[in-house]
A and B are shown apart, each in its own frame.
Chain A
Amino acid sequence: MSQTYRLPQGGRIDRSQPLTVRFNGKALQGYRGDTLASILLANGQHLVGRSFKYHRPRGILSHGSDEPSALLSVNWRAERGPGFTDPNNRASVVEAREGLETRSQNHWPSLEFDLGAVNDLLSPIFVAGFYYKTFMWPRKFWDSVYEPVIRAAAGLGKAPEVPDGDRYSNRHAHCDVLVVGAGPAGLAAALAASKDGAARVILADEGREPGGALLHDLGSTIDGKPASDWVAEAVATLDARENVVVLPRTTAFGYYNHNHVVMVERVADHRVDAAAGLPRERLWQVRAGRVILATGSHERPLVFANNDRPGIMLAESVRVFVNRYAVAPGRRIVFATSGASAYTAALDARRAGIDVTLVDLRLEEDCGPELGELRAVGVEVLTGHTVVDATGRKRVTGLVVAPIGRDGRVGARRTLPCDAVGMSGGWTPAVHLFSQSRGKLRFDVELDAFVPGQSVQAETSAGACRGLYDLAAVVADGFRAGGAEQPVEASASRTGFQPARVLPTDADPAKVRAFIDFQNDVTAKDIKLAVREGFESIEHVKRYTTTGMATDQGKTSNMNALGLVAGLLDKEIPAVGTTTFRPPYTPVTFGALIGPSRDALFEPVRKTALHQWAESQGAAFENVALWKRAWYFPKAGEDMHRAVSRECKAVRETVGIFDASTLGKIEVVGPDAAEFMNRIYTNAWTKLEPGRCRYGLMLREDGYVMDDGVVARLAHDRFHVTTTTGGAARVLQHMEDYLQTEWPELDVFLTSITEQWAVIALQGPKAREVIAPFVSDIDLDPAAFPHMAVRTGYICGVPTRLFRVSFTGELGYEINVPADYAESVWKTLWERGQTLGMVPYGTETMHVLRAEKGYIIVGQETDGTVSPDDLGLGGLVSKVKPDFIGKRSLARPDLVGSGRKQLVGLLGKDPAEVLDEGAQIVATPDQPVPMTMIGHVTSSYHSPNCGRSIAMAMLVDGRSRIGETLYVTTPSGFTTATVCEPVFFEPKGERFNA
């Protein structure tokens, strides 16, 4: 029984291109041009899913992106293996193509027979917010029983389980005019806006082809032409204009600040022949001079008992399936409406040979000419009738209607047998993007809807999205919005409706289950309960009942909920509030949002000029800020501990070579450079001789240590500043900030030179011996070139800024060379160094060696709340300078008092045991929790050169506790450690003078 419900002719489908999709394993036939929804209907499959809470059988409600019920799991590329399945796809918008495998959701064991439907029987208990009132006793049952059960019941489809097989791309675009929506208003707007050829125009539409509602409008004419011809001409005209980009299958889902509109284009899912590399979706970030919103409107369902039965759909959707897809949703269709537009649907269905009846809530005299037109083709129309029930369970079998008297009394019931229902409760303009743009909505009583009020951004709404429903008015409005008004002739549309909230019924309202939010199973009863319990703002009602919170975000339900609440409270709708619409308009894949920002492109990787060499030596790397730094250089069979021990010893015995290129480097140049340095650093710079270096400490204005590093004065007006690796950008920003905004009178230039100079550190007794043969124009004799001096000259014929500095306590040089030459210099030094026992070492060894000497690392010993004095570096704070950044803060009461943590050394009881970094220190463990903590371990290592473990710590009044034995936490308890000076190796500090 293939496509039993396919009409013999018509529709915008290509009958020459048949295709097969699978639904729950069953093959269904369709044509190119179909959606999954139209194929399901063509094959008589109305039952397509189970609802969220009650597991009620559900069908297809709509033909578009407002569909709340027909959600399917789709495997888009079964032939390519796993990684192409995702849940919750709206059958109404998925374009059918050969090979799609789809499954219904939220049932067990099967769609037809779902044990979860027991929830439907318990619905008297499972009302809105029931879970707030129970599951509280016994207390322990919440964690072990109730919550796991609730969680297991939640959710719709299954999340993907394996990494995505697809890729996504991202594109930025600028235009003068962005038109969202290519229905009659949008097409007219794009035509007008692009007319003179100057304005760059982008026209985006979520559908597969431009035209919007005109694609299923067989009867209307515009300027004397059939609507479809008008569309074809408009599209051809736009296509021919070089200044226009037309983007079908592109949903504008977010309207952000400053006319930043974000759209997602579906690139590959609809293509059978999609090449493997083709992105699945593309994110468009458009910055538009002006935005024209032509987003149309959504039809409202009617709210009556069992209005959720499969086969009951929106009236306009019936029309779409009949006209656009040539599918009869049923053989016998009853339309139920409170307005005129459904008559058009009924007429079209009748014309397609379907048996039609129409029930109108409006009284005879309130109806327009549509009434006569429909009766004229022999259709029975019942005016002044309400719908009180629907029969059938997995498919509607009849609509129970009854007349309403002038006094509002509901008369005798009558059942209209049918196999499909088209319902219409009126229309709601799609103001989502307007609201996202922060425009203020205005309630229009005539239209019974919110429409755009005051704009906040450069934006105009046109057509149905601002409440115009007559075709001529819509097209004219599009031209106006596009900037070129012109008269439009079009056939008259059937418009106007009487707001219908919950349809009058003779049934006990307590027993009626009339759905407002189809997906979240929210009934009118639930909303009444919420109002009864004091939830009066629509925001409260939404949150208490979950109405409007499902994957359709209330496109079909919001106005019905709002109207119902307003009616219950006897208030005007605006007094109850409207929801502020937030992005996205329809759900957007994470993949599209992140685009290519994955793996290596998640955040940039910075590598030094010497990275490859380190890699070739088998180095392990660690992430430090954005950099990859060589961590240690294991030899065959070595673990980190052994490699680091070997490296540490070698540096102190012979010499080690280390890549220090990641240190931040800033050149401070100009007549006022020294004055600038005086203001930025705690210490004084005026008297530093050119050719000398000094360790500098920098504070934030709040007095806490911000960064440190060695600074060389290259000339009277030129400083070469180094910073920590992670602090480089921050320090330059800090300096620029003060220079430009506080001290613009200072004649100084700041330049980042981190990338320009690579830094090769040679540390160890044999350092001079290694470099001596290659250095020219610099006298390396210790008398001529002492510790903390800097010289410029050449190494291996390459210009160098040669620092004689030490972060290890050994004789050491930091060889700055232009980054392009770094590898060749390094290799030359390496070749010679090997003959002298040189080793390469990484950051871990660097850390151990500096800790042996008690040198701090900003960010390890400090945490943003540490002052210079806390670190024992009070001597670096100038007493003479009247001011520098942070000076005033150092005098605040909390920074001068006792009881601050101070830097000390710690020697654990067991020399073989390395204390945990981050371990806490207490005076005694014999105290109740919470204990008084007096410090913490900041650095801790096994020191091969000391032959034992060493640690540094910040300890309350630590400098007065030298010699005390304290308790330090371990994973299993406590150990003891003795407080000592924070220097463990060669306290005299003479080796670097060698």
Chain B
Amino acid sequence: MLVITCPNCGDRPELEFRCGGEAHIARPQTPAELDDGQWGAFLFTRTNPKGVHAERWIHQHGCGRWFNALRDTVSDRLIATYPMGTPRPDAGAGAAPSSPASPTSQP
């Protein structure tokens, strides 16, 4: 179970939170102008990265506020949390490598 740093409340166990999936996928301003392919991509296509992932969380059983987080999907280490509407911080040093050549094949 993760410990998640709510920007408002501090470190709390994951049970208090709900994950809302990939962050920074803004709802199109005028959906009617998108073709079916673009709309389908907005609805369903996800980066699903092996490495640093920007994702949305809500402190459901706490302050009730949504925020974004950077997390490494290999180590599950939480790198940063930041308020909605602010840009994704630089993952910086210490983030797990996500390059194709990373040694991921240890049995």
Q: Which residue of A lies closest to B31 (CB)?
A: A888
Q: Mark A519-550, 1 if CB is under 8 A from B, else 0.
A: 00000000000000000011100000000000
**Given A257-B76, A733-B58, A702:B43 Cβ within 8 A:** yes
Q: Given A258-B3, A882-B32 in contact, is the A736-B75 Cβ separation under 8 Å?
A: no
> Chain B residue with minimal CB distance to A256?
B1
Complex alpha-carbon distance, A736 and B56, angstroms: 13
Does B39 lie within 8 Å of A892, measured CB to CB?
A: yes
Given A287-B3, A702-B43, A889-B39; A737-B66 close (CB under 8 Å): yes
Give B76's nearest chain A residue, CB to CB.
Answer: A257
Is A860 located at the chain interface by the 8 A CB criterion? no
Contacts of B31 in A (CB 8 A): 883, 887-888
In the complex, A733→B39 CA distance in Å?
A: 23
Which of A26-34, A228-236, A497-505, A740-748 makes up part of the contact surface?
A740-748
- Per-position binary interface string of chain A over residues 256-271, scored 1 when its CB falls under 8 Å from any chain B CB and 0 otherwise: 1110100000000000
Across-interface contacts of A736 in B (CB, < 8 A): 58, 64, 66
Task: For the A-B complex with A539-B107, A888-B34, A892-B36 known, give 11 more contacts whose Cβ atoms are closer than 8 Å.
Answer: A256-B1, A257-B76, A577-B107, A701-B43, A740-B65, A741-B56, A742-B26, A882-B32, A883-B31, A888-B31, A888-B39
Task: Tell me the smallest distance from the CB of A55 to a CB of chain B, in Å.
Answer: 33
In the assembled complex, which residues on chain B have CB atoms less than 8 Å from the CB atom of A892? 36, 39-40
- How far apart sit A737 and B26, CA to CA, in the bound complex (Å)? 12
Does B30 sit at the interface, judged by CB under 8 A?
yes
* Residues of chain B lying within 8 A (CB to CB) of residue A537: 107
For A733, the chain B residues whose CB sits under 8 A away are: 18, 58, 60
Check B20 for interface membership: any CB of A closer than 8 A. yes
A431-463 contacts to B (CB < 8 Å): 438, 456
User: Which residue numbers of B lie inside 8 Å of A, CB to CB?
Assistant: 1-3, 13, 18, 20, 26-27, 30-32, 34, 36, 39-40, 43, 56, 58, 60, 64-66, 75-78, 84-85, 106-107
Query: In this complex, what residue of B is CB-closest to A740?
Result: B66
Residues of B within 8 Å of A456, CB to CB, are 75, 77
Q: How far is the CA of A287 from the CA of B11 in the complex (A)?
A: 12
Please state if B43 and A737 are interface contacts (CB–CB under 8 Å).
no
| A883–B30 CB distance below 8 A | yes
- For the complex, what is the distance from the CA of A888 to the CA of B39, rounded to whole Å? 8
Contacts of B13 in A (CB 8 A): 287
Bound Cα distance from A456 to B85, whole angstroms: 31
With a cutoff of 8 Å between Cβ atoms, the chain B residues found around residue A891 in the complex are: 32
A-B contact pairs, 30 of them (CB 8 A): A257-B1, A257-B2, A257-B76, A258-B1, A258-B2, A258-B76, A438-B75, A456-B77, A537-B107, A538-B107, A539-B107, A577-B106, A702-B43, A733-B18, A733-B58, A737-B58, A740-B65, A741-B66, A741-B84, A744-B85, A883-B31, A887-B32, A888-B31, A888-B32, A888-B34, A889-B39, A889-B43, A892-B36, A892-B40, A893-B36
Q: Which of B3, B13, B31, B43 has the most CB of A within 10 A?
A: B31
Q: Which residue of chain B has its CB nearest to the CB of A743? A: B27
**Are B75 and A740 neighbours in the complex by a CB distance under 8 Å?**
no
A742 lies within 8 A of B107 (CB): no
Give A598 to B62 CA distance when docked, in angstroms. Answer: 26
- Residue of B1, B66, B85 touching A260 (CB-CB under 8 A): B1
B106 contacts across to A, CB distance below 8 A: 577
Contact partners of B78 in chain A: CB under 8 A: 258
Contacts of A888 in B (CB 8 A): 31-32, 34, 39
Residue of A nearest to B26 (CB): A742
Complex interface bits, A874-887 against B, C-beta within 8 A gives 1, otherwise 0: 00000000110001
B1 touches A737 (CB 8 A): no
- CA of A893 to CA of B66 in the docked complex: distance in angstroms? 34
Chain A residues within an 8 Å CB radius of B20: 737, 741
Residues facing B in A846-893 (CB within 8 A) are 882-883, 887-889, 891-893
Q: Give A888 to B13 CA distance when docked, in angstroms.
A: 37
| A256, A538, A741, A887 interface centre (most CB from chain B within 10 Å) | A741
Q: How large, as a class, is the contact surface on chain A?
A: 20 to 34
How does the 8 Å CB contact mask read for A404-448 relative to B, with 1 for contact and 0 for none? 000000000000000000000000000000000010000000000
Which residues of the other chain, B, contact A438 by a CB distance below 8 angstroms?
A: 75
Q: Which of B1, B2, B34, B40 has most A Cβ within 10 Å? A: B1
Given the complex of chains A and B, what is the CA–CA distance between A736 and B84 in angstroms? Answer: 13
A539 contacts across to B, CB distance below 8 A? 107
> In whole Å, how far is B65's beta carbon from the nearest beta carbon of chain A?
7
- Which 8 residue pairs are nearest across A and B when measured between Cβ atoms? A888-B31, A577-B107, A258-B3, A740-B66, A257-B76, A742-B27, A537-B107, A741-B66
For B107, what are the chain A residues with a Cβ–Cβ distance below 8 Å? 537-539, 577
Residue among A256, A438, A701, A740 having the largest count of chain B Cβ atoms under 10 Å: A740
- A224-262 CB mask vs B (1 if < 8 Å, else 0) is 000000000000000000000000000000001110100
Name the A residues within 8 Å of B65 (CB-CB). Answer: 740
Bound state CA distance, A539 and B106, in angstroms? 11
Min CB–CB distance A731 → chain B (angstroms): 14
Complex CA distance for A577 and B75, rounded to whole angstroms:
20
Q: Which of A257, A744, A883, A888 neighbours the largest number of chain B CB atoms within 10 Å of its CB?
A: A888
0 or 1 for each of A55-83: is its CB under 8 Å from B? (1 = yes): 00000000000000000000000000000
A718 to B2, CA, bound (A): 38
Least CB distance, A263 to chain B, in whole angstroms: 15
Q: Which residue of A is nearest B39, CB measured?
A: A888
Closest to A887 in B: B31
Which of B36, B58, B76, B107 neighbours the largest number of chain A CB atoms within 10 Å of its CB?
B107
Most B Cβ at <10 Å: residue of A258, A577, A733, A891: A258
Whole-angstrom distance from the CB of A751 to the nearest CB of chain B?
A: 10
Given the complex, which residues of B lie within 8 Å of A702, measured CB to CB?
Answer: 43
Q: Compute how far the CA of A436 lies from the CA of B39 in the bound complex, rounded to whole angstroms.
A: 42
- CB contacts under 8 Å to B, within A193-246, are none
How long is the Cα–Cα vector from A577 to B106 in the complex, in angstroms? 7
Q: Nearest chain-A residue to B36 (Cβ)?
A: A892
Q: Within the assembled complex, what's the spacing in Å between the Cα atoms of A742 and B28?
A: 10
Q: What separation, in Å, do the CA atoms of A702 and B27 have in the docked complex?
A: 13
Scoring A residues 893 to 911 as 1 if CB is less than 8 Å from chain B, else 0, what string do you get? 1000000000000000000
Shortest B47–chain A CB gap in Å is 18
Residues of A within 8 A of B43 (CB): 701-702, 889
Task: Give the CA-CA distance A538 to B106 in the complex, in Å.
Answer: 12
Encoded as 1 (CB less than 8 Å from any B CB) or 0, chain A from 568 to 607 comes to 0000000001000000000000000000000000000000
User: What are the residues of chain A within 8 A of B76 when measuring CB–CB?
Assistant: 257-258
How many angstroms from the CA of A888 to the CA of B27 in the assembled complex? 11
Nearest chain A CB to B49's CB is how many angstroms away? 18
Closest to A700 in B: B43
Instruction: Write the nearest CB–CB distance from A818 to chain B, whole angstroms.
Output: 23
B77 shortest CB reach to chain A, Å: 8
Q: How far is the CA of A260 from the CA of B11 in the complex (A)?
A: 13
Residue of A nearest to B68 (CB): A741
A740–B2 CB distance below 8 A: no
- B18: A residues at CB distance < 8 A: 733
| Contacting residues, chain B, for A577 (C-beta < 8 A) | 106-107
Nearest B-chain residue to A894, judged by Cβ: B36
B64 contacts which chain A residues (CB < 8 A)? 736
Q: Inside 8 A of B30's CB, which chain A residues have their CB?
A: 882-883
- Complex CA–CA separation, A736 to B43 (angstroms): 19
CA distance A260 to B60 in the complex (A): 21
